[in-house]
Amino acid sequence: MSLEFSRTVTFGQYINVNSVVHRLDARIKMLSVACVMFCTFMTRGFVSILPILAIAVLIQVTSKIPVGYTLRGYRLLLRTMLFIIPFQILFYRAPAGVQVDPYWQWWVLSISPQGISAGLYTLTRVILLYHTINMLMFTTTMIDLSDGAEILFEPLKKLRVPVNELVMTMTVALKFVPLLITELERLIRAQTARGVRFDTGGVIERTKKIVPVLIPLFVNALNRAEVLIVAMNARCYHGGEGRTKLRTMHIASTDVFALSIILLFAVSAAYIGRTFGV
């Protein structure tokens, strides 16, 4: 069992390489991600998803993030999807009026060209969604993310929604991801040093081995949360009312140009999917 979780779980990490994407306004990047995700759900086939794929490639190239580092974070996602996709293929049901010629069929299970195509299409959409969110995390600091989200959701304050508290909770949760991964590695190494093998045995036996790791992991997470609460109380934190920002965000012409390009590709993908259904 690999212990290098910090090398394979890259979600929530920021990589400062000072690229064009890094210098964009956080609000523009968040709006672009929301637009791409929405239009990805509006696609209907491999043809309509091509513009979204072009956006992903464009962001990857202009962000200067190493491709190997980006692909490293896909391992856990692909393992999960390779477990789910076969079920979609086996239980695929064609829409009314569509003729299906299955390669193999038994009871409610079948393997057909349409089912395989639907499974691969779903896998492609999930990878693109994950890639879009990952690139946002790679190219934007937590401070910019929290400030940008708070500004975008500011109209909700009129509905008495605690925007600042919700954004702060999201930021703290994301910051805890690398800390918990590091803590998990330390606990597993300690158990391995005591002779525990996590890569042997059946499902029940492996579950029994992981329980002594999960319990101290959650206990340490609660202890960290308690320390954070004490620190915030010591600094007289009473919510976001009346707080000021050290830095002020400004939207430049490059931000508008970047958003226009993203909207052009994303809307074209949604239009092709809704109009032609391909």
DSSP state of 105: E
- Whole-number pLDDT of residue 31: 93
8 confidence band (pLDDT: 50, 70, 90):
low
The answer on pLDDT for 6 being more than 70 is no
pLDDT digits (tens, 9 = 90+) for 229-248: 888 888 877 766 667 777 78
Sequence-distant (6+) residues with CB within 8 A of 228 are 172
Cβ neighbourhood burial of 242 (10 Å; 0-12, 13-18, 19+): exposed
pLDDT digits (tens, 9 = 90+) for 16-56: 888 999 999 999 999 999 999 998 888 888 888 999 999 99
% of the chain at pLDDT higher than 90: 21
pLDDT digits (tens, 9 = 90+) for 139-194: 998 889 888 988 888 888 888 888 888 888 888 777 777 777 778 778 888 888 88
* Residue 45 near residue 98, CB atoms below 8 Å: no
Q: How far is CA 240 from the centre of its chain?
A: 27
Q: How far is CA 163 from the centre of its chain?
A: 21
**How far are the Cα atoms of 56, 105, 128, 138, 142 from residue 18, in angstroms, in the given order?**
19, 54, 23, 11, 16
Q: Which residue has the tokens 């000072």?
A: 18
Which runs of consecutive H residues, i.e. helices, occur in the chain? 5-8, 20-23, 26-42, 50-63, 67-72, 75-90, 113-139, 142-152, 163-193, 203-234, 253-276
pLDDT digits (tens, 9 = 90+) for 122-148: 899 999 999 999 999 899 988 898 889
Tell which wins on pLDDT, 73 or 31: 31
Q: Which residue has the tokens 């919510």?
A: 239
Q: How far is CA 60 from the centre of its chain?
A: 15
pTM metric for this prediction: 0.80
The answer on pLDDT for 4 being more than 90 is no
DSSP string computed for 136-163? HHHHS-HHHHHHHHHHHTGGGGGGT--H
| Interatomic CA distance for residues 4 and 151, integer angstroms | 37
